[in-house]
Amino acid sequence: MGGSIIGWGSHLPELVVTNADFAARLDTSDEWITERTGIRERRMGGLTSTMAIAAAKVAIDRAGIAPEEIDTLIVATTTPDQAIPATSSVIHAALGLRGGAFDLNAACAGFAYALVTADGLLRSGQRCVLVIGSDTLSSVTDQEDRSTAVLFGDGAAAVVIKADDSDHFLLAYDLGVDGTLAPVLYQDHGGYIHMDGREVFRRAVRAEVDSITTVLDHAGLSAADIALFVPHQANIRIIEAVNQRVGFDLAHTAVILDRTGNTSAASIPLALVEAADSGRLRPGDRVLMSGFGAGMTWASAIIEWGVSA
Binding site for ligand UT7 (CB under 6 A): 28, 32-33, 36-37, 108, 146-147, 150, 185, 195, 197-198, 200-201, 204, 234-235, 262, 293
The distance of closest approach from Cβ of residue 261 to ligand UT7 in the complex, given in angstroms and rounded to an integer, is: 10
Active site residue 108: yes
Distance separating alpha carbons of residues 42 and 33, to the nearest angstrom: 12
The distance of closest approach from Cβ of residue 110 to ligand UT7 in the complex, given in angstroms and rounded to an integer, is: 11
Active site residue 252: no
Compare residues 33 and 58 and give the one whose CB is closer to ligand UT7: 33
The distance of closest approach from Cβ of residue 44 to ligand UT7 in the complex, given in angstroms and rounded to an integer, is: 16
Which of 19, 105, 243, 262 does the annotation list as catalytic?
A: 262
Which of 11, 92, 232, 235 does the annotation list as catalytic?
A: 232
DSSP string, 62-88: HHT--GGG--EEEEE-SS-SSSSS-HH
Relative to beta strand 297-304, strand 286-293 is antiparallel
Enter the DSSP assignment of 253: B
Compare residues 229 and 305 and give the one whose CB is closer to ligand UT7: 229
Distance separating alpha carbons of residues 54 and 28, to the nearest angstrom: 33
Compare residues 17 and 160 and give the one whose CB is closer to ligand UT7: 17
The distance of closest approach from Cβ of residue 23 to ligand UT7 in the complex, given in angstroms and rounded to an integer, is: 9
Active site residue 232: yes
Compare residues 133 and 293 and give the one whose CB is closer to ligand UT7: 293
Distance separating alpha carbons of residues 3 and 159, to the nearest angstrom: 12
Distance separating alpha carbons of residues 7 and 9, to the nearest angstrom: 7
* Residue 174 dihedral angles phi and psi, to the nearest 5°: -145, 125
Contact 261, 239 (CB under 8 A): no
Which of 19, 92, 105, 108 does the annotation list as catalytic?
A: 108
Half-sphere exposure of 125 (CA within 13 A, CB side): 0
The radius of gyration of the chain from alpha carbons, rounded to an integer in Å, stands at 18
The distance of closest approach from Cβ of residue 27 to ligand UT7 in the complex, given in angstroms and rounded to an integer, is: 7
- Residues annotated as part of the active site: 108, 232, 262
